């Protein structure tokens, strides 16, 4: 939707008809009016800004036009003699930018700043002069959009300019609004630039400015910028899409327009005052639909034909919030709604202030029509975003006094949540290149999701965020102490990607216990704030050097090297006599050094590595797959460490899950998955699959065994660990007694009547002894 078409509200309902001019001509009336103004001593409005004044008066009838006139005269005098690359006088640029803002409904202060936005940068006018003539508020806006000099910042000038604008936007969102209008006019005239400059400016617009327009909710700016960038960077695709749109525009609308008329009559009969219209999609939106149709081509290779809903949508504008749901009721009563297509953004607005009801219904002919339902105020905000909310400083006062700000009490137009997060992490990124790349990556997110904590707190996160991001959004200290998460009532790994509407609970280690993020968390952190906090914590606390084991060297197996000496990513096992043979560590018994292992050939020429005595490996031996001799490669480990499955049996009690998870995380192990079986006679078994260096496995098992209530910790998959039906037993063989024990670990008899030790030689406890 091009702004040049003018504002949406072009006429006021119920306005009195204009009186006939009589015998006087319009020119005579104009001369008489100017004479009357001169008689009062007031200067007339310059003709150059008269179109701006007319548009501005529609939104602000009491505007101070004298201030606009003074700003124009200063800008015209300062830019006099300067020319644009198109050959036009430079003053045409601030005039065009101001017209765009006037059509959006911006206030007088914003228009004054837009007229002057290039004076400090390109003329002899100083910021002090702007402040003295027009006040500190206008000076702040002008300074916010003024570029930094390349002479002072070199190649970092563009990045630092955007950082400066973001910081200024944090205090006054109108800074970014003026910048977006400025970029829109530059994009409208981009054809006069050199090809290399066109591509560079279009890419920056695509990566930074369009996402910012989306986050500020200014849909009319975003749509036109998208179309111009699309035409600049992808002219062939743009031409193809425009051709498709032209074909559909030339055809009569025999689906959506009749449906809109029928819906309007239905709502009138139901007593609901509403305006129903058909809104065409813009070019980029249709292009996205074409890409989906190409990807879903039929068996003959031909893409699916475009449907009416792919070209346009039906918009219903009502007076009150309650009317939105009344319209929805009529829609779903008279037409068949499509499952999964209803979205309520009225009760839960989007992060960019957008509010509407979305639904889709099937028409009698089988076609699908998408319908948007919103109030007039919602419609203005959906089109013009934060501009429709007015001056953010006045808005705060109006909201406090019960003004229009109350209707959007879940939003803050001056500092939206996404902007607060940008301002937070940019302070931690002094390097311009790092800031620029992080800014583009952050803004490239398709949107935001809303998760809810179990205490009712709402968390706004980018699409693709994980539980790690949710933990750090609750606070850096909470993130550092995080040991696990619960999503929708079920235990989940910290790497779990959250979806819109998920209920998440962050499990933290008790105060005073060692905690902190693992390096692997960086792979799951999506938000810059989480990544910066983790990187800062890891930099301040380098990995400690592991203390030597006090046990005699002859009584313990040699541990494989870890840290810098260890080789990450190499196969940890070698097949004797067959160098280079690919190996796969079995998931049933999760072998780690120094377990005795046996190899069995599998498909593809690889070798499966099982612990010696593993029931699955024994079945492979019985099937005739000859065992192969293997040897652990000193210092070699998988890229993410060895994956090991551990069972912990305990007396059931509150917070057992949190305590076990904290104990594992405190030893630096990453929890890949976890499962809790239903309690049996007050006993419960927790199963964890962890990723860790082989040398840390004994320490992790010791830490789990020290958790109160835990009486047994063991690795499944050892000799005799499986029952007849393939599952391992509770308290049967295959627990700790089947793992080698170490004298440094004191065995403790649990309910199984056998040793709960998990390293060193086989214990002498009776595995089938009485429980208790």
CA–CA dist 120, 147 (Å, integer): 10
φ, ψ for residue 692, nearest 5 deg: -160, 160
What sections of 135-255 are H helices per DSSP? Answer: 136-145, 150-153, 157-171, 174-188, 195-204, 210-215, 219-233, 235-250
CB atoms within 10 A of CB 87: 7
The residue among 527, 350, 309, 365 whose CA lies nearest residue 450 is 350
Q: Mind giving me the DSSP string for 46-101?
A: PGGGHHHHHHHHHH-TT--HHHHHHHHHHHHHHHTT-B-TTSSBTTHHHHHHHHHH
CA–CA dist 746, 494 (Å, integer): 33
Active site residues: 121-122
Orientation of helix 697-705 relative to helix 656-666, angle to 10°: 150
Residues 6 or more apart whose CB falls under 8 angstroms from that of 629 comprise 575, 576, 577, 598, 599
Tokens 């702007």 belong to which residue?
130
Beta strand spans in 652-772 (E) = 670-676, 683-692, 710-714
Element (H, E) at 424: helix 417-426
Residues 6 or more apart whose CB falls under 8 angstroms from that of 279 comprise 312, 313, 314, 315, 372
Tokens 């030893």 belong to which residue?
667
Helix or strand or coil: residue 507? Answer: strand
Q: Please give the torsion angle defined by the CA atoms of residues 461, 467, 469 and 473, in that order, rounded to the nearest 10 degrees.
A: 80
Tokens 């000038």 belong to which residue?
157
Question: In the chain, helix, strand, coil percent, each to 5?
Answer: 45, 15, 40
Q: In the structure encoding, which two tokens stand for residue 541, read together?
A: 């606390």
């Amino acid at each position: 939707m091009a702004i040049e078409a003018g504002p949406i509200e072009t006429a006021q309902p119920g306005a009195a008809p204009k009186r006939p001019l009589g015998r006087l001509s319009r020119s005579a009336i104009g001369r008489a009016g100017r004479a009357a103004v001169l008689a009062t001593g007031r200067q007339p409005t310059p003709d150059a800004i008269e179109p701006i004044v007319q548009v501005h008066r529609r939104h602000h009838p009491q505007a101070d036009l004298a201030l606009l006139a003074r700003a124009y005269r200063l800008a015209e005098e300062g830019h006099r003699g300067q020319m644009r690359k198109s050959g036009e006088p430079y003053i045409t640029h601030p005039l065009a930018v101001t017209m765009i803002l006037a059509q959006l409904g911006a206030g007088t202060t914003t228009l004054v700043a837009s007229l002057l936005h290039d004076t400090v940068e390109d003329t002899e006018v100083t910021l002090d002069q702007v402040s003295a003539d027009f006040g500190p508020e206008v000076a702040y806006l002008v300074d916010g959009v003024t570029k930094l000099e390349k002479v002072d910042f070199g190649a970092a000038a563009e990045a630092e300019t955007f950082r400066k604008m973001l910081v200024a936007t944090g205090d006054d969102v109108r800074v970014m609004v003026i910048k977006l209008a400025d970029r829109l006019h530059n994009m409208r005239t981009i054809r006069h630039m050199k090809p290399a400059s066109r591509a560079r400016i279009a890419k920056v617009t695509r990566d930074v400015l369009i996402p910012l327009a989306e986050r500020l909710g200014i849909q009319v700016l975003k749509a036109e910028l998208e179309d111009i960038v699309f035409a600049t960077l992808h002219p062939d695709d743009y031409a193809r899409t425009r051709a498709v749109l032209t074909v559909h525009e030339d055809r009569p609308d025999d689906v959506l327009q009749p449906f809109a008329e029928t819906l309007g009559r239905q709502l009138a009969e139901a007593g609901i005052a509403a305006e129903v219209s058909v809104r065409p999609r813009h070019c980029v939106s249709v292009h996205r639909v074409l890409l989906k149709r190409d990807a879903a081509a039929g068996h003959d290779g031909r893409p699916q034909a475009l449907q009416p809903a792919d070209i346009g949508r039906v918009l219903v504008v009502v007076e009150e919030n309650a009317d939105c749901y009344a319209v929805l009721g009529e829609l779903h009563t008279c037409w068949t709604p499509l499952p999964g297509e209803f979205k309520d953004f009225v009760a839960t607005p989007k992060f960019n202030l957008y509010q509407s009801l979305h639904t889709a219904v099937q028409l009698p002919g089988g076609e699908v029509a998408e319908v948007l339902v919103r109030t007039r105020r919602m419609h203005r905000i959906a089109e013009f975003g934060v501009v429709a909310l007015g001056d953010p400083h006045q808005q705060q006062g109006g909201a406090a006094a019960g003004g229009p700000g109350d209707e959007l009490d879940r939003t803050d137009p001056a500092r939206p949540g996404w902007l607060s997060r940008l301002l937070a992490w940019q302070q931690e990124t002094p390097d311009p290149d790092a800031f620029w790349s992080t800014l583009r990556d952050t803004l490239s997110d398709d949107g935001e999701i809303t998760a809810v904590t179990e205490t009712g707190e709402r968390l706004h996160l980018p699409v693709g965020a994980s539980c790690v991001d949710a933990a750090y959004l609750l606070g850096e200290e909470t993130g550092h102490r995080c040991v696990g998460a619960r999503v929708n009532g079920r235990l989940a790994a910290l790497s779990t990607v959250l979806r819109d509407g998920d209920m998440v609970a962050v499990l933290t280690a008790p105060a005073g216990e060692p905690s902190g993020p693992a390096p692997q968390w960086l792979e799951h952190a999506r938000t810059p704030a989480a990544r910066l906090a983790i990187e800062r914590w890891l930099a301040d606390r380098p990995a400690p050097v592991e203390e030597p084991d006090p046990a005699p060297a002859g009584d313990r197996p040699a541990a494989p090297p870890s840290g810098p000496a260890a080789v990450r990513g190499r196969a940890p096992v070698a097949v004797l006599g067959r160098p280079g043979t690919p190996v796969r560590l079995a998931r049933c018994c999760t072998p780690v050094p120094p377990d005795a292992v046996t190899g069995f050939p599998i498909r593809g020429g690889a070798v499966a590595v099982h612990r010696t005595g593993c029931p699955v490996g024994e079945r492979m031996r019985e099937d005739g797959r000859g065992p192969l001799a293997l040897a652990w490669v000193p210092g070699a480990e998988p890229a993410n460490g060895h994956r090991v499955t551990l069972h912990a049996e305990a007396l059931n009690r509150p917070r057992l899950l949190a305590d076990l998870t904290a104990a594992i995380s405190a030893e630096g192990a990453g929890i890949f998955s976890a499962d809790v079986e239903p309690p049996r006679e007050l006993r419960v078994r927790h199963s964890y699959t962890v990723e860790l260096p082989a040398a840390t496995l004994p320490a992790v098992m010791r830490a789990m065994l020290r958790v109160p209530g835990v009486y047994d910790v063991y690795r499944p998959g050892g000799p005799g660990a499986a029952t007849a039906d393939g599952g391992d037993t509770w308290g049967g063989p295959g627990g700790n007694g089947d793992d080698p024990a170490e004298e440094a670990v004191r065995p403790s008899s649990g309910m199984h009547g056998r040793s709960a030790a998990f390293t060193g030689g086989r214990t002498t406890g009776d595995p089938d002894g009485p429980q208790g």
